[in-house]
Chain A
């Protein structure tokens, strides 16, 4: 039974970065902005986090640097799409390309160095409860942050006035503007929140998941996070379910690779990507349901008339 707990623990660790990045993007998309640069912000978060953790010897400073790196990069996206009203799809893509390039440059001196790992929680007695102790009381701090983040975003979106305002902007920016809501300001904040989350997700990869820097180490997780937002039909708890489903697929294929079975490792490695496609097909099959759930002004540039 200890094996079951260990497997669940690894699934949680694999799901956490996906969840954090997807929750951030959920807020961005709820405000009506499509930021395809998640992968780029995440990889910048990973390299900034790793570098800062090594240079200072403090994993928490690394986490903070990851968040700052992601948020800073998202500001670039915000300036172009919000202040200059550029095409969001193309700008997001360029953010990913720039992020991957920049992270390679920043991380060049850090390849192969041993990183600083964020210690997991360890509460005497509680963590040692058999079967569930480590699952509930013995994980890394970012795991708890991801759960709190999901709950917080749920509360914010559906229980606060600002959350309602944010959703109204995402559904109809023209009406929101006519009501005197500062659309662009809200969107800047949403985009930066998304960037900070993507940065935190990246820092989790390079400080908790595998404390090292490898170029392109996000390996498409940013894109999977984008797919998770669609999969979760822009609702936080469904995104959480999706993230854990993908965590399970990732860990499952890793175990299958270790066991062999004579299946080519490349086929197993491609399972998470294939699963993303299958899940997207299943969820978007019903055109009416998708239209109903998608924020209505998602991806459309907005220029306030004066």
Chain B
């Protein structure tokens, strides 16, 4: 019988703080190899098609960027929430609402064009996402309601609402009965950054700008200090004159706006119409991205690319080896588990104690 004992380090380990995402990734690869072996697929070729193959061709690097864009945008916002101890896990719903509100102009006012259209769509997307995130923030601050449960419940509501719109009032009348809105005209599509090579659109620029802005905000501004102080010690935050309620709104509105922006960039950039589903779970995967990136916006950019790789690798492995695309979700879940487990090493040393030996020592 082996028991795990944790011994608190006198101070955080800088070494493990930097290493833990890499250890976690390595452990995920090992566990992944075992998983492939278990389902009867050759482990090394499978890992190759998951993590290397998507990077070997330029168009597929573009696909990687398309998938990483929403993940980074959402996760950057979530980092503000999680650092300040506001548990927004409804980013998927805010993403959907951003997509819906951002699409209002091209769907309802089809004649409207001009250079103002795209900026307006983006702003409306951000407003839609922020407004939807304001609901759990309001319920938390006004009625003391657990934001984890309310924000999550609102995801289901948003999914059903989008389904209703895409099959009902927003359905393209010339779409021969298929669900989904009209296809957006070119003026309502986010421009591609290198059209000759692949489909990556302007969204990735938004994502990187958002990461830099939030990184600077957290690191070098009073607001950033407030976010961190309220997160580590609400009491100390109160003594410093900061309001936890205002912080809850700040965190939820920021992450809602970024999730909404991610939603409308996905609709306007990658999809080109409002469909009955617009997300393969980006809002949930972004939670993994936020933690893998150590809640640091710069780390999140890297983590977003890694998680985007699991989506693409899933497709690649399905084509080349017949591995189920469901494996990607397992990878993502395992990765978060290992990240959280490895983070323990930052604060604690781990000692394995054999119980028999321990009791023998006590006797002597």
Q: Pick the contact of A36 from B148, B161, B163 — CB < 8 Å?
A: B148
Given A76-B337, A220-B156, A277-B139 in contact, is the A303-B8 Cβ separation under 8 Å? yes
Q: In the complex, which residue of chain B has the Cβ closest to the Cβ of A82?
A: B4
**Could you tell me if B326 and A105 are in contact, using CB atoms closer than 8 angstroms?**
yes
A64 at the interface (CB under 8 A from B): no
**Could you tell me if B145 and A266 are in contact, using CB atoms closer than 8 angstroms?**
no
For B89, the chain A residues whose CB sits under 8 A away are: 93
Q: In the complex, which residue of chain B has the Cβ closest to the Cβ of A230?
A: B146
Count B-side interface residues using an 8 Å CB cutoff.
49
Given A284-B143, A284-B145 in contact, is the A273-B153 Cβ separation under 8 Å? yes
For A100, the chain B residues whose CB sits under 8 A away are: 329, 333
Q: Pick the contact of B332 from A95, A97, A219 — CB < 8 Å?
A: A97
Shortest Cβ gap from B329 to chain A (Å): 3
Shortest Cβ gap from B31 to chain A (Å): 11
**Could you tell me if A83 and B153 are in contact, using CB atoms closer than 8 angstroms?**
no
A123 at the interface (CB under 8 A from B): no
Shortest Cβ gap from B116 to chain A (Å): 33
Chain A proximity mask over B336-357: 1 for CB below 8 Å, otherwise 0: 1100110110001010000000
Taking CB atoms and an 8 Å cut-off, the chain B residues in 314-334 that contact chain A are 324, 326-334
B87 at the interface (CB under 8 A from A): yes
Stretch of A19-27, A84-92, A129-137, A138-146 with 4 or more beta carbons under 8 angstroms from chain B? A84-92
Taking CB atoms and an 8 Å cut-off, the chain B residues in 131-176 that contact chain A are 139, 143-146, 148-150, 152-154, 156-157, 160-161, 163-164, 168
B6 at the interface (CB under 8 A from A): yes
Q: What is the bound-complex CA distance between A269 and B5, given in angstroms? A: 47
**Could you tell me if A264 and B4 are in contact, using CB atoms closer than 8 angstroms?**
no
**Could you tell me if B326 and A101 are in contact, using CB atoms closer than 8 angstroms?**
yes
For B287, the chain A residues whose CB sits under 8 A away are: 90, 93, 97
Taking CB atoms and an 8 Å cut-off, the chain A residues in 288-306 that contact chain B are 290, 303, 306
Q: What is the bound-complex CA distance between A277 and B329, given in angstroms? A: 28
For A7, the chain B residues whose CB sits under 8 A away are: none
Q: Pick the contact of B329 from A101, A266, A274, A285 — CB < 8 Å?
A: A101
Shortest Cβ gap from A285 to chain B (Å): 5
**Could you tell me if B146 and A284 are in contact, using CB atoms closer than 8 angstroms?**
yes
Given A264-B164, A266-B160 in contact, is the A223-B340 Cβ separation under 8 Å? no
Q: In the complex, which residue of chain A has the Cβ closest to the Cβ of B35?
A: A105
**Could you tell me if B340 and A94 are in contact, using CB atoms closer than 8 angstroms?**
yes
Q: What is the bound-complex CA distance between A76 and B338, given in angstroms? A: 11
Q: Considering the complex of A and B, which 8 residue pairs feature the smallest CB-CB distances, nearest first?
A: A98-B333, A101-B329, A94-B336, A104-B326, A266-B164, A266-B160, A101-B330, A105-B326
27 contacts between A and B (CB under 8 A): A80-B341, A83-B4, A84-B341, A84-B350, A90-B340, A97-B285, A98-B330, A100-B329, A101-B328, A102-B329, A102-B333, A104-B326, A105-B329, A105-B330, A108-B324, A223-B149, A223-B153, A230-B146, A267-B164, A269-B160, A277-B145, A277-B150, A277-B154, A280-B139, A281-B145, A284-B146, A306-B5
